[in-house]
Chains A and B, each alone.
Chain A
Amino acid sequence: MHTGDHSPNSVHDPSPTVLLLFRRPPFGSVLAVEGFRMAEALLAFQVPLKVVFCEDGVYNLLKGQGKGALGLGDLGKAFAQLEPMGLPQLMVVKEDLESRMLSQEDLVAARIQMVSACHLRSLIDEAKVVIPF
C-alpha cells in the first residue's frame, strides 16, 4: 500500500501533485506501459505531475530499445515525448542508475534531472498521490 502527502495543505487541493514512480523495467510486466499511459492521461487533464525512475525502473529510459520479436514498443522514446505534452522533466535516481553501471549518456535524449535517493524521499513526502509502477 502506498500513500502520498500527509500534510494538511493537501486537503481538497484542486491541483494535487501526482508522483508516478517507475520501479519496474520496461519488459516483463505491463506496469511500465500502463504507467506511461497514465502519465499521458494525467498530462492531458493538466494534472501537476512528476515522473521518477528508480530501481530497475531506470531501464525504461535506456536508449535504443528495440521492438524485437515480441513487437513491443520503445518506451524510452515514448517517455521522451512526454516533455512536449507538458512534463517539465523526467527524474532519475542517480544511485540506482550508477549501481546498474549506467550513466546519463546511456539514456534517451530528454530533459532528465538526476536526483538522489534522499531527494526522492522528499518528492514522495510532497506529493499528494504516489502511484508505483
Chain B
Amino acid sequence: MKLGIILLTGPYQHEGADTAYHFAKAALARGHELVGVFLYTDGVYVTNRHIVSPGQRNIAQMFEELGLRTKVVACGTCAKFRGMRTEMLSPNLKLGGMGALVNLIQECDRILVFGGG
C-alpha cells in the first residue's frame, strides 16, 4: 500500500513525532511504500540538525534517517514563521510548498495524520 504521513506536532512536546517515525519504520518493514512525509506547523522543527538530546533519542536524526528512504518535506512557510533556514536542515530533509502536500495526497492510498487538533 502507498502511504503518506502528515506530522502536525513538534519534537519533545508530544509523542506525535516519535509515533510517526515508528509507524513509518514499521510500515516500511512490512513492505508498504512510504511515498513521503509532510511536516506542517511545529512539525517542521524535526528537521533542525542543531537538535541535541543528551541521553535521549535524537528526533532530528531519526527523521534524517527516514529521509534516506522517503521524501521528507517541511512546509516552507511554517519554517519561515519559526525562524528555520535551509542551512539549519538535517541532510535528506527539504523545505517545500503546499504543492508537495497536494502531490502526497494524490499519490497515496492512505494518509495518516499525527498531531493536530
- B85 within 8 A of partner (CB): no
Whether B111 and A41, one on each chain, are in contact in the complex, defined by CB atoms closer than 8 angstroms, is no
Bound form: Cα–Cα A45–B97 in Å: 11
Whether B102 and A24, one on each chain, are in contact in the complex, defined by CB atoms closer than 8 angstroms, is no
Whether B98 and A38, one on each chain, are in contact in the complex, defined by CB atoms closer than 8 angstroms, is yes
Given A1-B113, A3-B111, check contact A45 B102 (CB 8 Å): yes
Interface centre among B77, B112, B113, B117 (most CB of A within 10 A): B117
Given A24-B117, A38-B98, A45-B102, check contact A129 B41 (CB 8 Å): no
- The tally of residues in A whose CB lies under 8 Å from a CB in B reads 34
Whether A45 and B98, one on each chain, are in contact in the complex, defined by CB atoms closer than 8 angstroms, is yes
Bound form: Cα–Cα A73–B16 in Å: 28
A-B contact count (CB 8 A): 74
Complex interface: stretch among A9-17, A61-69, A81-89, A90-98: A9-17
Report the nearest A residue to B23, measured CB to CB: A1
> What is the minimal beta-carbon distance from B83 to any residue of chain A, in angstroms?
15
> What is the minimal beta-carbon distance from B31 to any residue of chain A, in angstroms?
17
Complex interface: stretch among A29-37, A106-114, A118-126: A29-37
**Which positions in B face A, CB cutoff 8 Å?**
2, 6, 8, 19, 23, 40-42, 77-78, 98-99, 101-102, 105-107, 109-114, 116-117
